[in-house]
Amino acid sequence: MATNNSASKRTTSEKPAPKRSTRKRTTRTQTAAAANSTAAKSMAAGEVPAPTIPVTSPEQFGRIVVMDVTPSAEQGMFPARVELGEPFEVTAQVFIEGRTKVGATAVLRNPRGREMQRAAMTCVNPGLDRWTVMLQAGEHSDLKPWDEDYAAVKRQLGEWTVTIEGWEDTYTSWLHDARIKVQVGDDVENALETGAEMLNRWAHTADAHLSARDRKHLEQAAERMSDKERPASARLAEADNPRIEALHKTHPLRDGISESRPQRFKVERPKSSFAAWYQFFPRSEGAYRAEDGTIVQGNFKTALTGLDRAAEEGFDIVYLPPIFPIGVTNRKGRNNSLVAGPHDPGSPFGIGSELGGHDTVDPLLGTMDDFKAFVAHAHELGLEIALDFALQCSPDHPWVKQHPNWFRIKPDGTIAFAENPPKKYQDIYPIDFNADMPGIEREVERIMNLWIEAGVTIFRIDNPHTKPVRFWQDVIAAVTKKHPEVLFLAEAFTRPGMMRALSYVGFTQSHCYFPWRNTKEELAEYLLETNGNDGYYQHNTFWPTTPDILTAYVRDNGIAGYAVRAVLAAMGSPSWGIYNGYELIENRQRPGFEEQIDNEKYEIKVRDWKEADKYGIAELLGSLNEIRRNHPATRSYHNLTVLPTSDPSILAFARHTPAALTGTGQADTLIVVVNLDGYNAHQSTVHIELPELGLPTDRAVTVRDELTGREFQWGWDNFVSLAPWADVAHILSVQG
């Protein structure tokens, strides 16, 4: 886990902001020239510039070596991604020749080039010269894209930069040697005179940004240090005391300042990584059985109840499957059967009929005006609407006649339906991108803009890995250029390289392999992968189940299993999601498949939501979302530590955000302990390296279980006992 010793912040909002295009083309030579100009002004004001050497080309080192700045991927071609206000870690190798001491400072600038944060870095392994710091671009905001004040959020978004400044730590190097020389009486006078000269120079160095009071103190200390009538130990003490040490931490003397090339960070809007998703099918909301036994489906008016439920449980994004007309040809029946019955509604993923395609509302759900009213109600509840965009067609889709070249024609003259052997999707024609990709791009951009105008702010893309990465790169760039607030979720359960590439080209979040990580070892590894350096590029969203996924763990562990997976999803990733019916413990698998029997993709569900009260899962979901809202530590992909436990069924991890980055002025630390066994009680010790979480080492700390309100005293090693019929987990917040 990265620690943040922190950090003196210095904001210079009065600095003029260069034009963005100029900033991108600024070379290190130009930076040196600007520094020389600043130095000339400082000397004119009676201040001394920090000594440095010119850097005239990008491959030259400065006086100090600064290299391997992280995070970085593909030689810096794609910027790291963070959400507005999300704490993130930057590291670098910083060193100098010999035994001279160095320091490092990270400088964060906004898209207009204005310096917004300046923070001291900490050396975490002196032998390998690795320095680290936690930074924060802007402030977390709960504003929505439709809020009147959202412009204040938009102004903070875009490409920020971090520059690492390595510098010779003249004070620390001098002090190390001077202490020894005074102690053994070796070359004392030269050592003390050198120190006095250093303090005097420090007092007049412009880069130190000293107050008049601190400058005077250094001058007086230098004068007293030069007094040869005083004992050597007293003279040394003028520079070796808590006040000078504190000044060195906050306003150091930095010689030989050497800058790295700027490291780019794409700062994205709220909900780009910290989000709680809720999925439901509008046609099942308000559905009921008629007297003759047939099902009367719901629509956008009856589906308002789904929005109310999502808001009551604390979610902030509602995700809808495709809402377009459904094809008739080869329509699938219940449980993906090849023959549909007279009352089977078909899969909403078999998109398109004589009534229209991707730009049309299914008339059985309502009109476009009904959809807009549905969106308006969502906005009143503080919910964003995400729409599933499946780029595929039923045989009845208008594109089949309008653009037959967009599909793959088999030698017998028929259009090839989708398949993933042994799976076959006879009701779907996949798109062939080789004939007219630019034309397909323009049409998809037109359709997305239409739904954005209707109030959609997020698209969940179905199987994007089966389409060209370049296609999505072009489409997302075009859509977000006009609507920068729009986010994209990739449903790409595929090879790691493809998932990463989709993230590079603009997919804000990604489905992932969380449902299949169930043992302590699997989860520990996956939590670190999701919340490590990969989290700067791929934002994994944890879904315990989906319409297509119902794992053996969820099937076999009953109510406790549902609770366990909800806790792990909500606390294990800043972004998580729930498919409705989770509250009702819908856990019957289709034989031979890891999906639910009577899959909602192929039929309309009639649910009795009053039954949810007896399981308690709906209440748990609300509690988890409330904890997430109240604790800044849950918002970052870069602050998780797995904690050692003594029992193979007990998993523990912590999230810690230091006080300087919470926005509350207080550090926020959560410790999550989960019993993975849905049937048996387990006991374990949980070990905490207290300094890594910024916790005191000489006394116990009070922790409060956010799920129950109970309080405990914790320290280095702690006993826990969790039984699935009582508590499946603790979510402990450190108090005070």
Q: Which residues are catalytic?
A: 462, 491
Q: How many residues does the chain have?
A: 736
DSSP lists the bridge partners of residue 453 as none
Report the sign of the C-alpha dihedral through residues 214, 215, 216, 222, in that order: positive
Phi/psi for 232 (5° steps) reads -60, -40
The DSSP element (H or E) to which 521 belongs, if any, is helix 520-530
DSSP lists the bridge partners of residue 650 as 675
Q: How far is C-alpha 527 from the geometric centre of its chain's CA atoms?
A: 13
CA Rg, the chain, in Å? 30
Is the CB of residue 611 less than 8 Å from the CB of residue 636? no
**CA angle at 694 for the pair 690 and 697, rounded to the nearest 5°:** 40
Q: How far apart are CA 100 and CA 313, in angstroms?
A: 57
- Cis bond upstream, residue 404 (ω within 30): no
Phi/psi for 182 (5° steps) reads -65, -40
Q: How far is C-alpha 198 from the geometric centre of its chain's CA atoms?
A: 44
Distance (Å) of CA 132 to CA 3, 74, 164, 476, 506: 8, 21, 10, 33, 27
| Burial grade of 572 (CB within 10 A; 0-12, 13-18, 19 or more) | buried
Is the CB of residue 165 less than 8 Å from the CB of residue 254? yes
Is the CB of residue 236 less than 8 Å from the CB of residue 192? yes
In 3D space, the residue among 210, 261, 258 whose CA is nearest the CA of residue 104 turns out to be 258
